[in-house]
Amino acid sequence: KQEVTQIPAALSVPEGENLVLNCSFTDSAIYNLQWFRQDPGKGLTSLLLIQSSQREQTSGRLNASLDKSSGRSTLYIAASQPGDSATYLCAVPNAGGTSYGKLTFGQGTILTVHP
Amino acid sequence: DGGITQSPKYLFRKEGQNVTLSCEQNLNHDAMYWYRQDPGQGLRLIYYSQIVNDFQKGDIAEGYSVSREKKESFPLTVTSAQKNPTAFYLCASSMDRPYQPQHFGDGTRLSIL
């Protein structure tokens, strides 16, 4: 059974710092890995999706990497801003079975960026 | 604008009562999903549907029921058999193909009166 772990559980940094969020998964047979952002009391917003054949994906100040063989992904946030404060979740769909969208989620990293 | 609409935003359930959460999408997605989010536990899959008139149990289906009569709609009923229904419920949809991102609604918060 796939298990997804995110480290750290919480992170507090001053504005302007570059930071890295970690995600690891136990079963490397995945189609892709998706990073989400969740603001308090809201749904999830998709940030980046990395296909299993890709190593990196970038969007603005966000860069996500994927090392499928070691079961790891990192989300790099450059020049953090207070508006980046949120919970960040990673999720993977397993390659087995008939559904491409059954996601297994990590428990998330709660990020706080201080002005 | 395309998206996923969940209603109501807040819902209260009395003892022994069934309640239904609505989820509608206009993204023309094949697949729809219901997740439950509890503090400190991440999201867990309740039910999913890959096509109209078909759905499958997820990891925590007991005490819940769904229907998929239309492509756009995937309502979730929380039955009286669900003894701990207080949670944040999230609906999502995607194309049922590899490498397709999943999109989420804004959620419904269910509490017990």
Q: Say yes or no to pLDDT of B1 above 70.
A: no
CB contact under 8 A, A101 and B106: no
CA distance A18 to A93: 28
Looking at residue A82, its pLDDT comes to: 97
CB contact under 8 A, A44 and B45: no
Average pLDDT over residues A41-66: 94
Please report residues of B whose CB lies closer than 8 A to that of A5.
none
| Closest Cβ opposite residue A99 in set B90, B96, B105 | B96
pLDDT in tens, B51-96: 999 999 999 999 999 999 999 999 999 999 898 999 999 999 999 8
DSSP assignment string, chain A: ---EEEE-SEEEEETT--EEEEEEES---BSEEEEEEE-TTS-EEEEEEEETT-SEEEETTEEEEEETTTTEEEEEE-S--GGG-EEEEEEEEBSSSS-S--EEE---EEEEEE-
CB A43 within 8 A of CB A49: no
User: Which of B32, B100, B109, B111 is most worth mutating to test chain A (most A CB atoms within 10 A of its CB)?
Assistant: B100
Q: Say yes or no to pLDDT of A113 above 90.
A: yes
Q: Place B16 in a pLDDT band, splitting at 50, 70 and 90.
A: confident
Please report residues of A whose CB lies closer than 8 A to that of B107.
41-43
Q: Place A49 in a pLDDT band, splitting at 50, 70 and 90.
A: very high
CA distance A110 to B54: 36
Looking at residue A96, its pLDDT comes to: 66
Q: Say yes or no to pLDDT of A26 above 70.
A: yes
pLDDT in tens, A57-82: 999 999 999 999 999 999 999 999 99
User: Which of B5, B57, B94 is most worth mutating to test chain A (most A CB atoms within 10 A of its CB)?
Assistant: B94
CA count, 13 A, side-chain hemisphere, B111: 4
Residue A53, CA distances (Å) to A29, A30, A68, B16, B84 in order: 12, 10, 9, 49, 41
Q: How far is B39 from chain A (nearest CA, A)?
A: 9
CB B58 within 8 A of CB B36: no
Please report residues of A whose CB lies closer than 8 A to that of B111.
none
Looking at residue B98, its pLDDT comes to: 80
Q: In degrees to the nearest 10, what's the CA dihedral of B59, B60, B66, B72? A: -50
CA distance B73 to B24: 5
Q: Place A95 in a pLDDT band, splitting at 50, 70 and 90.
A: low
Looking at residue A97, its pLDDT comes to: 66
